[in-house]
Amino acid sequence: MLHVARTAASFPVLLNESLAWGNHGGYAKPMIEDNKKNDLSFSGRLTPRKMRAMTPSNEVKTLTVSSNTFFHRKLADELAQWPRIKEVLLWGTVSKAALQRLLSLAEIHEIYVMELHKHGNLCGIDQSSSLRVFRGGWLSARDLRALTQLQNLETLSAQNSSVNQQVIEMIVKSSSLTNLDLEASNLDDVMAKELAKSSKITQLDVGATRLGPSGLQEICKMTQLRELDIWALDLDEHDLDCLEALPNLEYLSVGGYDSQERLKSKNVLAQLAKLPSLRRVWLDGIPVSESEANELRARYENAQITFAA
């Protein structure tokens, strides 16, 4: 069954790119979004020459490049000549050579890649990179093996990506990784058994993967979990019983596609009430009545409901 993630590689941008950037006929137009934050955005097709001409004089907090640009190594080399950059958001395709160069930038903390070009590899990346957050989609297992070796990486989002047993073993061995998003990947029950050995991961998204009841039981052995997304898994209501083994769980996303009929609001709400630390919930694809919605909003700090009966 083909699963689709709910977000485009977990990009932290709420505006539609076509609205934020517009169409400038291929001209790379810089736009300062917030002078206090020193955020800089480029729309249109970007070239090394144009990038060199637009070199800022001060540190840039967030650089955003639109999908019109294929971000290659020469652009990354130009970026390396700029003052310090904390966060880079790349809406287009990025070459692996360019990503390697970005990882070598001093004090780079976050990188967001819409699509990593399939050619090339990430072998030999700077494992001591200061990068803390990487978000991307449709990554290969080979790419993930390289990224999990980053010594300071705390958050890894790899939606719609290919994972295997070796990738999961490397994730478990990571001493820094605490936030893992594998939504819509091929993670299965066998790999979940290995993943459950992690004592570091506290935020986990395994929604729309191949996990079933036995895989969820393994995940629920991770008693340190504070956030868990199990949206669109092959589960029945009674399979949620194992969630009671998570005493520290503060956030839960559960449900499925709007056509799902296996999870009913009455029983799911009863299951949620048994989780002592739960503060925030997202019920996605579970029909909820107005009275049940009011009950959820009264019970929790935040209750997100994306299907109403």
Could you state, in order of their start, the residue ranges of all structural domains in the chain? 1-138, 163-309
Share of the chain above pLDDT 70, in %: 87
Q: What is the pLDDT of residues 180-225, one digit of tens each?
A: 999 999 999 999 999 999 999 999 999 999 999 999 999 999 999 9
Other C-beta atoms within 10 Å of 287: how many? 17
SS in 3 state form for the chain?
CCCCCCCCCCCCCCCCHHHHHCCCCCCCEEEEEECCCCEEEEECCCCHHHHHHCCCCCCEEEEEECCCCCECHHHHHHHCCCCCEEEEEEEEEECHHHHHHHHCCCCCCEEEEEEECCCCCCCCCCCCCCCCEEEEECCCHHHHHHHCCCCCCCEEEEECCCCCHHHHHHHHHCCCCCEEECCCCCCCHHHHHHHCCCCCCCEEECCCCCCCHHHHHHHCCCCCCCEEECCCCCCCHHHHHHHHHCCCCCEEEEECCCCCCCCCHHHHHHHHCCCCCCCEEEEECCCECHHHHHHHHHHCCEEEECCEC
Place of tokens 């190594």: 73
Whether residue 50 contacts residue 43, with contact meaning beta carbons closer than 8 Å, is answered with: no
pLDDT tens-place values along the chain, 309 residues long: 334 566 544 444 433 333 333 333 333 444 444 444 689 998 889 999 999 998 998 999 999 999 999 999 999 999 999 999 999 999 999 999 999 999 999 899 999 999 999 999 998 888 999 999 999 999 999 999 999 999 999 999 999 999 999 999 999 999 999 999 999 999 999 999 999 999 999 999 999 999 999 999 999 999 999 999 999 999 999 999 999 999 999 999 999 998 899 999 999 999 999 999 999 999 999 999 999 999 999 999 999 999 755
Please tell me the predicted confidence (pLDDT) of residue 5: 65
Q: Give the C-alpha separation, 143 to 96, whole Å.
A: 9
Taking CA atoms, 215 is separated from 185, 209, 296, in Å, by 14, 10, 27
**Domain 163-309: which CATH class?**
alpha beta
| Alpha-carbon span 227 to 250, nearest angstrom | 6
Q: How far is the C-alpha of 192 from the C-alpha of 126, rounded, in Å?
A: 29
Contact between residue 190 and residue 169 where contact means Cβ atoms under 8 Å apart: no
Confirm if 45 and 22 have CB atoms less than 8 A apart.
no
How many C-beta atoms lie closer than 10 Å to residue 26's C-beta?
Answer: 12
Residue 59 and residue 78 in contact, taking contact as beta carbons nearer than 8 Å: no
User: 59: which 2 tokens?
Assistant: 């540190």
CA R_g for the chain: 21
